[in-house]
Structure 1
Amino acid sequence: MSAPPTSFTALLQDPTTVTSLASTVAILLAALALSRRVLDPVSTPPRLRALFVWHAFDALIHFILEGGFVYHCLFSSAPVAALKQRQAGEAYYWPDPENFLGSGLGPGVVAHGSQAAVDESPLAKLWMVYAKADRRWGGVDLTVLSLEMLTVVFAGSMACLACYDIARKSPRANLVMIILATAEIYGGYMTFMPEWLTGNVNLDTSNFMYKWVFLIFFNGLWVVVPLYAIYVAVDDIYDAFKARATALGEKKAK
């Protein structure tokens, strides 16, 4: 297999890279379409509409893309010799942790993850594109897998609940958004802090696409938008407390 493209233009000419970016745009458009269908265009404030779209997008990303990553880590495997032969000259091969899933097999026998299913699964191909920027997503990194399992089940469900509560105009949406945003910011910290402490040995920042699009932009979304969600939720809670204090003051005055 030839070496991966390194220039920004070459990356955009790579069909799998284009498909990866297009799939994200498609998920965002699906979230926008859902918001148009279920939200009242008159009574829904713009910031809640934006947060509905975000949480719908968030849920779809967790369930579809990250769900596919978890599936391949748990159920897709291939002999290491075959992987090395197929990916000769590339730096994406990631060995299994010793005794992964209780197999008793040491590193170098079989390997799980997207790297093992790249010829059969479109989702695995997409993750192998991202693995060009962060090698850990090509195979099984125990920290990443543990976080992603929690992300798919907990964060995906909480994002759906946030959408449900926003659509119903339930004040519970504020609590749900704060819990989810805190969890996702913490998840991002736990994903990248091990890399920062070891000099980013698994990250490739050699070109614009890898550094600014895959690593900084996409991961930065799950920091900036959750912080905004916390701001909106706390602002609404503060207004509720202020209204209650005003009502109590008026009641005492009577």
Structure 2
Amino acid sequence: MTSSNGLPPDLFDQTTLLSLASTVAIVLVGVLLGRAVLPASTPTSKRFLFIWHATDAICHTVLEGSFLYHCFFSSVPLSSVPADVAATYFPTPHNFLGTGDERVFGSQVGDSPFAALWRVYARADKRWAGVDLGVVSLELLTVVVDTALALTVCYCLSKKNPMANVWMIVLATCELYGGFMTFCPEWLVGSINLDTSNFMYKWLYLVFFNMVWVVVPLYALVHAVGEISGAFKAQAAKSKRR
């Protein structure tokens, strides 16, 4: 269903606006943490990287953690769903969690505000309404491993520990690999689950929200490699003077 101008009527509904506001709130928390933890003399580049990794950790824990929660704990018996409604659901893989074909899982049947948030994003990528095994597998690693790495980077930056650069490289590599593996399988089947019919779905949900996790990790990677290379050069110059 679309409005008279060809756009979905729920493009800017209350749920959408609250969902977008939640992402802004997460960024603001990252900024406030940076102000609270880092000394005023912290270089802009390191302050930005701290804020990014703090935001990254919160996003992985709160948002993507809620996605996993609904994948595992939100379900309804398929027999209780009318056939016309069941046809609109993203199909749950056969025998997911050993349930055979008896239940349907995911945010599509959840009743929390986070489930509603993921249903908003799922308007652009249907996989996030239900259970896509590739996405769920990647998110398990993201929520557990990437969150731990992001928190480690923040801790090292706050302590001026140069090991922050090593962990930034590891995390950036994980983020870039995860982004590729999220979308490559979809591209190979013709993007059948993606909706790019309007600017909001295409440029905000699919491009912006995903490219952020490409551009910033690339910057972190370049920054960290530069810092480590600079340290090696300084060590080599010091050795020559001896």
**Band of TM-score, shorter chain:** over 0.9
Q: Structure 1: where are the runs of 5+ without partners?
A: none
Letter in 1 for 2:7: S
Contact preservation (8 Å) 1:83, 1:115 = no
CA gap of 1:19–1:249, structure 2 versus 1, over 3 A, is same
Distance in 2 (CA, whole Å) between partners of 1:83 and 1:48 is 51
1:195-254 Cα shifts (integer Å, max 9, x gaps):
111110000000000000000000000000000000100010011001000110001xxx
Q: Secondary structure at the match of 2:171?
A: helix
The aligned counterpart of 2:70 is 72
1:103-162 Cα shifts (integer Å, max 9, x gaps):
2x12xx311110121xx2000000000000000000000000000011000001110111
Structure 1 residue 192 and structure 2 residue 159: aligned?
no
Letter in 2 for 1:102: G
**Over aligned residue pairs, what C-alpha RMSD do you find?**
1.8
The aligned counterpart of 2:155 is 164
The aligned counterpart of 2:35 is 36
Distance in 2 (CA, whole Å) between partners of 1:28 and 1:83 is 38
Q: Secondary structure at the match of 1:111?
A: strand
Contact preservation (8 Å) 1:8, 1:208 = no
TM-score scaled by length of structure 2:
0.94
Contact preservation (8 Å) 1:59, 1:156 = yes
Letter in 1 for 2:17: V
Alignment counterpart, residue 231 of structure 1, candidates 193, 197, 222:
222
Q: Secondary structure at the match of 2:11?
A: helix
TM-score scaled by length of structure 1:
0.90
Q: Structure 1 segments of 4 or more deviating over 2 A?
A: 3-10, 79-88
Pairwise CA distance, 1:4: 6.8
Structure 1 residue 133 and structure 2 residue 133: aligned?
no
Contact preservation (8 Å) 1:8, 1:209 = no
Q: Secondary structure at the match of 2:204?
A: helix
Alignment counterpart, residue 95 of structure 1, candidates 91, 94, 111:
91
The aligned counterpart of 1:7 is 7
Q: Secondary structure at the match of 1:11?
A: coil
Contact preservation (8 Å) 2:2, 2:9 = no
CA gap of 1:132–1:41, structure 2 versus 1, over 3 A, is same
- Percent of pairs with identical residues: 54
The aligned counterpart of 2:26 is 27
Distance in 2 (CA, whole Å) between partners of 1:85 and 1:41 is 60
The aligned counterpart of 1:62 is 60
